[in-house]
Amino acid sequence: MKQPVRIALAEGIGTMILVVGGPGTAILATGGFFPKGGVGVLGVALAFGLALLCAAYAIGSISGCHINPAVTLGLWAIKKTETKDVPFYLGGQIIGGLVGAGIIYEIAQSSAVKFSAKVSGFASNGYGVHSPGGFKIGAAILVEVVFTAIFIFIIASTSRKSMPAGFTGITVGLTLTLIHLITIPVDNTSVNPARSLATAVFQGGWALRQLWVFILFPIVGGLLGALVWRALVPAEDA
């Protein structure tokens, strides 16, 4: 199997794991299925971090486990990802995310509890009346730019030459957990356009109309974080 195909397949599997683990927990282990709240914000944040950690050790040696277009484009901007591979990363991430969301959708539909992705929101990202805390669009934009920048800055830093091997998965998994703990109340936390697209497609209404925020601004943040990292880190340690 050629390397670009391996990258696309690995990224698809990894993104599926992330969506099944993160939004899957938010959908199946909270809310309508658990009227008393289920695992809550802490549980969902941990689920995202653990899903990323699992994916990192599963496919990291194949593709680097980006499983996020903002990561791919940020690392591309600082020449850690080759231009020719970018479409395979993005394609795998989008398809994998949709497959993961489809799996969760089918599971949710099979419950004796009445379920509607449109009514529940399907763990989609949103602002205004669709923000868990009622935050406006400006807060969602700021959150996505700042916290995606932090995320990509840390990913780029843990991939530098002086970083001890084997610790990247733990570091980025814990970082994603922290980001979710802070930002779930604002917009359900994106920092990942593939994750946002996957759930929005199945929600099918307001989530698709607001999706542009969760595609554009994580990418802006990813590029910003990568470029700040490049400005700070000596070339010999890149």
Which positions of the chain have pLDDT values less than 70? 31, 35-37, 161-162, 164-165, 236-238
The CA distance from 21 to 96, in Å, is: 13
Burial class (CB in 10 A: 0-12, 13-18, 19+), 133: exposed
Q: What is the rounded CA–CA span in Å between residue 195 and residue 22?
A: 9
Write out the residue range of the structural domain in which residue 69 sits.
3-110+117-237
Q: How many domains does the chain have?
A: 1
Where residue 82 sits, what CATH number does that domain have? 1.20.1080.10
Q: Which tokens in the block code for residue 175?
A: 């970082």
**Looking at residue 1, what is its pLDDT?**
73
The predicted structure's pLDDT at residue 151:
98
Q: What is the mean pLDDT of the chain?
A: 93
Tens digits of residue pLDDT in 36-49: 668 999 999 999 99
Of 81, 60, 52, residue with least CA distance to 151: 52
Residue 202: its pLDDT value, please?
97
